[in-house]
Amino acid sequence: MQINAYQNTQTFNKDINYLNEDEKRLLTDLQARDTEVRAHEAAHQAAGGGMTGGASFSYQKGPDGKMYAIGGEVSISTKGGSTPEETIANARQVQAAAMAPANPSGQDFAVATSAKMMEIKAEQDLAKEQQEKLNGSETYRQNAMQEENKEDNTIDISA
């Protein structure tokens, strides 16, 4: 005996017309939560570019027999870069992805804070590199001036 998909769905899903008021309220709440969770995770993905993975969800079965997303997560890669500039760009992308949803969660704030710390460290590294280059240039300039002064201070006493 073959059962088509429609008949199969009807067998396992409760007809919402037969739900009591509490079940209808629960169903409305689950539907709203499902929409909110999916939009939240989609916002992470949209803002994360290539730094985010796929969304995974936790589900609850509703009184209508359907499964509704009640929680979710998207992995965000917090990798550094090969240069401080690349690390800064990556950190900013992670922050944007973490804070993209309309209502960021505590975990979203924690990820954004971690990425901000990564950005600050990379900015410090960049400033140190720039200072070392500047110091190197300054040392070179001072050495050149000393050599020039040595040449200017020599007195020719030949007759």
Distance of CA 88 to the CA centre of its chain: 12
- The H-or-E segment that residue 68 falls in is strand 67-76
Average the pLDDT over each of 20-29, 82-91, 121-130, 144-153 and give the range with the smallest value. Answer: 144-153
What is the C-alpha to C-alpha distance for residues 99 and 112, in angstroms, rounded to an integer?
A: 7
Tens of pLDDT along 44-103?
999 998 889 999 999 999 999 999 999 999 999 888 888 999 999 999 999 999 999 999
Which is higher by pLDDT, 4 or 147? Answer: 147
- Domain residue limits, the chain: 8-77, 78-150
Mean pLDDT computed over 107-128: 95
* Residue 53: both structure tokens together: 């993975």
Global pTM exceeds 0.95: no
The residues with which 112 forms a beta bridge, in sequence order, are none
